[in-house]
Amino acid sequence: MKLSKILLGIDRRYIFIGVALSIALPLLMPIGFGTSVTRQVQDVYDFVENLEDGSTVIMSFDYEPSTMAELDPMARSMLKHLFRKNARILGMALLAGAPGIAENVLREETELAGREYGEDWVFLGYVPAPTAAMLRIGEDISMVYPTDQYGTPLTEFPVMKGVKNYRNIDLVISYSSTAMPQFWAQYAHDRYGAPVAVGATAVEAIRMYPYHDSGQIVGFLGGLKGAAEYESLMGEPGEGIKGMDAQTIAHLFMVLMIIIGNIGHFAERRGS
């Protein structure tokens, strides 16, 4: 049998099994790859580290369950860091499928950190028309969110005391699998001067480089690796670092398959 036929004829079911094993085995038997930190993540970490005690931070959960594996670890790790700085958290969501995720992440992390709803954090919920909401917050947040997600007026929450618009916000963080962080940069930062940090999926992170270079965002966490980098800076390993082993082996497997495919391709062209 020709070499090219063997190399080019691998049944895709074997490839699927290979992917499944390369992801599952490292999760079951961790290897413990370390991860180095990129300047984009370092910049976000440094910015949070330099926030004053009790700063107010908007956390916008702009993603749906499909990308939670990448973005949840970032949000959790950053929440831990922000609570170390005693930050006041205003959670919100600009995608219809995001409030459920935001609630889960915020509730679990605030319980772990022993933070009180209304005192240390509040969940504002979902509003439609993302860009209008971003711009409106620049004028008056209570016009976008008169109440929290559960119908309580914002004026009843101590955490909202003195918070009117971006002038009272020390950092906006958008976790997203869409182009939403670009809008945050263009509207919240460029128009109102709010510092914006981004947590993006690996695919979307590619778009963030020009915004970081121009200073429109303070930095960004890209994909699961971004989460792993932040966790390593925090010294608190979580889902990000755990997932890097699986991602490493899966990437190596994919590269191996690409090499096999190309060897087969050249062998076929040479007629062997």
CB 45 within 8 A of CB 226: no
What counts of helices (H) and strands (E) characterise the chain? 12, 6
Q: Which stretch binds other proteins (CB under 8 A): 81-89, 108-116, 159-167, 251-259?
A: 251-259
Nearer to other proteins, 174 or 216 (CB): 216
Tokens standing for residue 227? 């989460």
Nearer to other proteins, 112 or 252 (CB): 252
Selected from 152, 155, 262, 272, the binder of other proteins by CB under 8 A is 262
252 near other proteins, rule: CB under 8 A:
yes
258 near other proteins, rule: CB under 8 A:
yes
What is the DSSP secondary structure assignment for residue 153, as one 8-state letter?
Answer: B
Closest CA to 82 of 243, 197, 167: 197
135 near other proteins, rule: CB under 8 A:
yes
Closest distance to other proteins from the beta carbon of 143 (Å): 7
12 near other proteins, rule: CB under 8 A:
yes
Q: Which stretch binds other proteins (CB under 8 A): 54-62, 80-88, 153-161, 206-214?
A: 206-214
CB 253 within 8 A of CB 22: yes
Supply the DSSP string of 260-272, one letter for each residue: HHHHHHHHHHHT-
Give the footprint of other proteins on residues 25-54 (CB under 8 A). Answer: 33-36, 38
| Beta carbons within 10 angstroms of residue 69's beta carbon | 13
